[in-house]
Amino acid sequence: MLVLWEDRDIRFDVSLSQMKMRKGENFIQVFEMVEDVKGNSGERGKLLVTNLRLIWHSINLPRVNLSIGYSCMLSVTSRKMSSKLRGTSEALFIPAKSSTRYEFVFSADSTTTPLMLTTVIAVYRAYETSKLYRDLKLRGALIENKQLQLLPQEQVYNTINGAWNLSGEQGNIGTFFITNIRVVWVANMNEAFNVSIPYIQMISVKIRDSKFGYAMVIETTIQSGNYVLGFRIDPLEKLQESAKEIQSLHKIFFSNPILGVNIERTKEVVEEQETYASVMSPAVSDSEIDSTIQSDACVSYYADGETGRGQPCENPVFSKELGLAIEPLKAGYTLQSLWKVL
């Protein structure tokens, strides 16, 4: 089982295997002739929008690339920026954070930039509103009128009454829902006491002996909190059947994962993306990546005043308005706008 990292990490200069779409990841749009203004100014590249992340790579040297997961992105806006290819123009601006805060700026021609902006915003919003497909959720609004609120494309395969949650010193009785995307347990006495566990975050499903007797134990990934959740279902035969059913659905799910982010794509876009996927492999080879080189590619994107690939800020300039030496203002900024308090 491959851990889902594509939507949760920011990675620089990744290998071909990491650039390829994982199962459940789909192209949504490809934008040509896009410049990575901060890290690769003057370099023409392609921006790939998927349902999990943004990928930018240089056309001339595809091993120079970025992978930006939507979970790391803080917002998606536009900003006036200065670039080597287009001078000062409107660009896609994305502040992001993993262990460090970064800023990414992508510039295209005047006809492509608006479409690039609206596409990325739409996909980012769709990602943010579909987290139950990918994230473990405790105490969520999962039930309405005693029924599980189904996600798009979700089907309930089994409903088990009298399932005990063994998370406390004493068990809590509730109802177990087994679907094609996740398993959900809800307490009978308090519907707000519940847990939703998507298959994408499950490591294993086993039956173990406990102080409450034999129980089904679901272990989750480190990304989702590394939980070990126990459930008891009587009789033992029913417990074994339920565990086998979840194990089977878990295996089926990973053969064709449903990860949410449903975006309608035209026939032309689908054909373009299939063509791109078929020609990408010859263009990039893992053998081209020299893993012995210590890359400082990420330095360019730090949100701390760096202006280029490892280059320091420009020398200070004299400001007549302040009568002081100051750092040169970035394109699109004025002293008045920096001092203005909204």
Peptide bond into 235 cis (omega under 30): yes
Q: Tokens for 81, please give them.
A: 């920026």
Nearest one of 126, 125, 106 to 116, comparing CA atoms: 106
Give the pLDDT confidence score for residue 334 in this predicted structure: 67
Q: What is the pLDDT of residues 126-139, one digit of tens each?
A: 999 999 999 999 99
Sole residue written with tokens 């459940």: 24
State the chain's maximal CA–CA distance in angstroms: 83
CB atoms inside a 10 Å sphere around CB 76 = 21
Average of per-residue pLDDT across 282-299: 47
Contact 260, 127 (CB under 8 A): yes
Question: What global pTM score does this model have?
Answer: 0.79
In the predicted structure, residue 13 carries a pLDDT above the cut 80: yes
Q: What is the CA radius of gyration of the chain?
A: 24
In the predicted structure, residue 274 carries a pLDDT above the cut 80: no
Residue 216 C-beta-side C-alpha neighbours within 13 Å: 26
Distance separating alpha carbons of residues 315 and 327, to the nearest angstrom: 7
Sole residue written with tokens 């499903």: 205
Instruction: Give the confidence band of 310 by pLDDT, cuts at 50, 70, 90.
Output: very low
In the predicted structure, residue 193 carries a pLDDT above the cut 50: yes
In the predicted structure, residue 69 carries a pLDDT above the cut 50: yes
Domains and CATH numbers, the chain: 10-130+261-301 (2.30.29.30), 137-255 (2.30.29.30)
SS3 at position 82: strand
Give the pLDDT confidence score for residue 304 in this predicted structure: 60
Q: Which one has a higher pLDDT value, 80 or 164? A: 164
Task: Strand 172-179: give its sheet, edge to edge.
Answer: 137-138, 194-198, 182-187, 172-179, 156-165, 228-233, 213-220, 202-210
Distance separating alpha carbons of residues 18 and 34, to the nearest angstrom: 21
